[in-house]
Amino acid sequence: MPTHFISCEKFHTKWNNKLIPISRVNPGESVQIEVMDASAGQITETTTNNDLARMKPILPLTGPIFVNGANPGNTLVVKILEMETAHWGHTEISPGHGFLPKDFGNRQLAIWRIESDRFLHCDSIPNVRVPVRPFCGAMGVAPRISGEIPTMPPGCHGGNLDIKYLTVGSTLYLPIFNQGALFSIGDAHLAQGDGEVCVTAVETSGLVTLEFGIKNGQILEEPYFETETHFATTAFATTIDVACRKALKYLIQYLVSEKNLLKDSAYMLASVAADLKVFEVVDSPHVLAGAMIPKSLFYRRDKSRTNISSK
């Protein structure tokens, strides 16, 4: 059983390093956190397109959570242990938003339900079934800078990452800028494609169980994460090409420092076996990209190690 339960009753809609923590936890303790959907409950199973006009975008976050012993300059380790969700979710087109903001001028709503086959079905998108793959789109710590920052864009602190690979069994690593890290989470999804192109995934509510840890002496430029099968970097920018280049450079740094490869070797291995990903493109002008590489590539054949010379 989780050591702590944290309700979403107290939520916030801005990142701010002056927010008062709603809970304090120790590293190694499991924490069950209640998260609202991206509309903060404004959208229900019976909501129609006609109801959307009176609703406002919110993206609520549960937190902040103070992690004892989390000091600036270190890394917060967030292990995703379990996740329970509602049996339904929603996807919305919001004019002026998304990756094609000028192509879709009307607000549209789709309601998805988890059927007995454990797939998502939607009456307004017939003859389609989408695998359920729940995760939380927004996770982060209080930013370095003071003042309010919208919950939507990604950044060095995490934020609206929308990385569909951060499911149960994955671990997120975040730089710590403030005492206690001040972690917050929200934006639960039942499913999402890379990019979240229309600005929403299958938005839902749920319970997420996490375990926090601390890595001392590690200074991150931006978050990275691990799944059961892959290691991945993340990078944000105002253009996709810049974000992808940054993510690739972070991956090369990892291969050099953690896998003991020469820089030239790491670059070529990335070209052969790594995947550049566009995680999120809807927080204009911000985009989030990443570079993922399979863990299965790395093994020890013998004590010697072959590297291409950088001479």
Check: CB of residue 6 under 8 Å from CB of residue 31.
yes
In this predicted structure, the answer to whether residue 305 has a pLDDT above a threshold of 70 is: no
Q: What residue spans define the domains of the chain?
A: 4-218, 229-297
276 burial via Cβ count (<10 Å: 0-12, 13-18, 19+) = middle
For residue 219, name the pLDDT band (cuts at 50, 70, 90): confident
Strand partners, 171: 79, 226
For β-strands 4-6 and 30-35, DSSP reports them as: parallel
Instruction: Tell me the per-residue pLDDT of 79-115, one tens digit each, with 9 for 90 and over.
Output: 999 999 999 999 999 888 899 999 998 999 999 999 9
The per-residue pLDDT for range 233-262, each reduced to its tens digit, is 999 999 999 999 999 999 999 999 999 999
Residue 251 CA to residue 241 CA, distance in Å, equals 15
Report the predicted TM-score, pTM, of the whole model to 2 decimal places: 0.94
**Which CATH architecture does the domain made up of 4-218 adopt?**
Sandwich (2.60)
DSSP 69-94: T--TTSEEEEEEEEEEE-SEEEEEE-
- For 21-61, write each residue's pLDDT tens digit: 999 999 999 999 999 999 999 999 999 999 998 888 889 99
Whether the CB-CB separation of 150 and 123 falls below 8 Å is answered with no
Count Cβ neighbours within 10 Å for each residue of 243-259 and write b for 16 or more, e otherwise.
bbbbbbbbbbebbbeee
Domain 229-297 is in which class? alpha beta
